[in-house]
Structure 1
Amino acid sequence: MRRWTRKLCILAVLGGFLFGGIKLYQGLAGVADAYLSNLDEKVNVVRAGSNKSHIEEEFTPPDEVKPDTEYEKVVTVKNDTDTDCYVRVIAETWDSAVHVTMDVNTKDWSEKGEDGYYYYQHILGPGEETEPIIRAVRTHDEAVPFEVIVYEETVQAAGYDSPIEAFASIKGK
């Protein structure tokens, strides 16, 4: 058997310290890396909301248009989505030369604005229907066939205090 010399013993002890020190450093470095770094990931899908609505109308066109006669024409807008929205409507006769007046509901709808729209004064909830904007159409002293054109738009109500503010936001004003 070989005898260990003093130099060999010192080298063996130093080698053991060196090996142990390297292992200790690697262990502490791993802990430090874990302590100083962190990775977490969450995927958030953001979808743009959508508004879908349609016009509901109760109207039976007459066989013959008579002067000074009122015809029942009930027009509403229905919200087909699960999003609260504001509504605006344009309601006009096709030919401005034909003198016809519409019974417009100004309790729940605004007066006709400078932009030509009537604004519904309430938020229209999911699946809800507006109060009628038009209830009837009246001819005057002439018996001329007429058409009433109704066009509607909706915008999400979230974040806005009025329909005018909400619609102005989509124009960038």
Structure 2
Amino acid sequence: MKPKKKAVYLLWLLPLFFVLLLIGSATAYAAMMMSDEKANLFQIGNLQTKVKEIFTEPATIKPNESVIKKVTVENTGTVNQFVRVMLHPEIRLESGESTRLLPSKIGEEVLLDLNFTNWKFGEDGYYYYLNVLKPGESNAAENLFTEIKLKNDLGLEYHKAAFSLLIKVEAINCSQYAYRDAWWQGDTPSSGVLQAIDKQLAEKAE
């Protein structure tokens, strides 16, 4: 009879053992959640960028005639930044309710005096600023370009077309390899111009 009583006692202890396990698991999970909440309370630096330009829009742009257009990127935040810029020119011909887009490639129909000393053009279509932009500072002395003009021998269809240039600016903090995560999905370029850009930015990362 005694062995049977021991077996009964063990059966009663098993549910209690599982309850204790569940309480222990719940306690550990709650501790992990509290840790995550505390991590979210840390204040991070303010990352803000402002684009300024010196540009008087003319009524018309004649082919091969330069127009002054200086675009400056200013760091209005509180942390050091790396900056990249994408330029999207557009020449459109409107006739009634229809719009026709004409070829407007930089270096062909659209000519810029690009600064390749302080900037590099990557295979991803962005121009990368190779220096650190500090809080309260701008790259006014190192503009990507300062003037713009249209190619001289454009066809007659361009004479009544409208020209615009979209400037897209992106900034990221200078912490070690943050630009790789934000701009290249965490990859490290192994060839081409992006590899050279990565090398120069890595040397200036914090």
Distance 1:69 1:145 in 2: 16
* Aligned-partner residue type, residue 60 of structure 1: T
Residue ranges of structure 1 left out of the alignment (5+ in a row): 1-42, 161-165
Aligned to 1:121: 130
Aligned to 2:199: none
Q: Is residue 69 of structure 2 the alignment partner of residue 59 of structure 1?
A: no
Aligned to 2:151: 140
Which of 99, 103, 123 does residue 97 from structure 1 map onto? 103
Distance 1:117 1:72 in 2: 22
Aligned to 1:157: 174
Q: SS of 2:54's equivalent?
A: strand
> Do the aligned partners of 2:53 and 2:70 also contact (CA within 8 Å) in 1?
yes
Residue ranges of structure 2 left out of the alignment (5+ in a row): 1-37, 92-101, 188-206
* Aligned-partner residue type, residue 138 of structure 2: E
> Do the aligned partners of 1:89 and 1:119 also contact (CA within 8 Å) in 2?
yes
> Do the aligned partners of 1:86 and 1:122 also contact (CA within 8 Å) in 2?
yes
Distance 1:101 1:66 in 2: 13
Which of 30, 33, 46 does residue 42 from structure 2 map onto? 46
* Aligned-partner residue type, residue 154 of structure 1: A
Distance 1:147 1:101 in 2: 13
What percent of counterpart residues are identical? 30
* Aligned-partner residue type, residue 114 of structure 1: E
Distance 1:115 1:168 in 2: 13
Distance 2:61 2:146 in 1: 18
Pick the structure with more helix per residue: 2
Distance 1:101 1:120 in 2: 20
TM-score under structure 1 length normalisation? 0.65
* Aligned-partner residue type, residue 92 of structure 1: H
Aligned residues: 125
